[in-house]
Amino acid sequence: MARKALKLASWTSMALAASGIYFYSNKYLDPNDFGAVRVGRAVATTAVISYDYLTSLKSVPYGSEEYLQLRSKIHDLFQSFDDTPLGTASLAQVHKAVLHDGRTVAVKVQHPKVRAQSSKDILLMEVLVLAVKQLFPEFEFMWLVDEAKKNLPLELDFLNEGRNAEKVSQMLKHFDFLKVPRIHWDLSTERVLLMEFVDGGQVNDRDYMERNKIDVNEISRHLGKMYSEMIFVNGFVHCDPHPGNVLVRKHPGTGKAEIVLLDHGLYQVLTEEFRVNYCHLWQSLIWTDMKRVKEYSQRLGAGDLYPLFACMLTARSWDSVNRGISQAPVTATEDLEIRNNAANYLPQISHLLNHVPRQMLLILKTNDLLRGIEAALGTRASASSFLNMSRCCIRALAEHKKKNTCSFFRRTQISFSEAFNLWQINLHELILRVKGLKLADRVLALICWLFPAPL
């Protein structure tokens, strides 16, 4: 029952997180993690593709003859296998192991009975949501159940996760700062996934980055570029970027900073229509075109609640949206205002989430998790990050227009317009850098004047 309640709380947090209220935690209390179970829930059989690594250790007494027989089967597949998991979440846990050929791998093992319990969990969630609806008619959370029914079976299929990992790796191969662990297909099943072992610190760990001389601002920029490319250009979005799934490290060979993207079970595939409207909306928000903000918010189902929708997307107040979200960073006063207003507008937020396209729900969750990382690193979205988003929007919209015309002249015209718009953004970014350097020079001059060096 505790796990079911945790699952419901986790899904409910999607609605509240979109409004700036953070209920996310990557720590799960799992009663089954204690005792002999921590030695390893999943044990492998020796059949090559049909291993579905045995998950019966939880019912076998620790140290018994049956337990030792099961443990011995692990060594048929691995040279060594760490009993203590590297990490544990609600659906699976990950162990470090070494294959007989010397390769170090990560073994992701689905918890026993999770698949069988999933339908009961969803039924319980549906009952609770209906009960909430009876008690508080203004809250509409049935979309939580619909999303769980759609996404949970995909997350439970680890072969689907492997395919997602390979797809995003190929899709973003031009980013030399991104590392997606390679999948070992010959040793993977629907319930067990073997992948290349890649070590690193969590993306919200400033101390780790400082110890390893990794530039926090560079990591934040890379993360923004990566997700802008996924959302605006490709429409294939990793929707669980919590700190445990996004690691940072220095590449062993080059010494350059890398982002390691893990856990590819939950992706959102955006339709062409949604992606194009979403690009237009963000372009309008970045360049403060309020007429188009209203138009494209309403195209995405916001209706008359488009001001609230714009605030949820940007995590900024309506005043800041009107002034321009790229003009000034979030202040502590504005942050407090957003949190206070979020509680006051929960019925409207609930109504809005029930009417926007289902694709938007995971995008809102993803945006919120990314902002949580930025907040932990102290790198809230800057003018530079908005310009990177705008570049992706320009490229995506130009590609969409070229795809929908047969005229060579029109395609050429679109390409020239795209190049000119990108050049304008580059020029604007250069001006911002020059202004920043001038400001830095002035600050340095002031310091030298206030504290002159001794003769």
Vertex 192, ends 189 and 194: CA angle to 5°? 95
Short-list 236, 228, 243, CA closest to 359? 236
Which residues are tagged catalytic? 240
Among 278, 374, 376, 284, smallest CA distance to 329 is for 374
- Phi, psi at residue 79, to the nearest 5°? -70, -40
* β pairing state of 257-261 and 178-179: parallel
> What is residue 73's DSSP assignment?
H
Can you give the length of the chain in residues?
455
Enter the tokens of residue 181: 């662990």
Tokens of 141: 């959370």
Q: Which residues pair with 99 in a beta bridge?
A: 78
Could you tell me which of 65, 105, 100, 82 has the C-alpha nearest to residue 195?
A: 105
* CA gyration radius, the chain: 25
Rounded distance, CA 300 to CA 317, Å? 20
Q: SS3 for 108?
A: strand
Give 236-295 as a DSSP string. Answer: EEE----GGGEEEEE-TTT--EEEEE---S-EEEPPHHHHHHHHHHHHHHHTT-HHHHHH
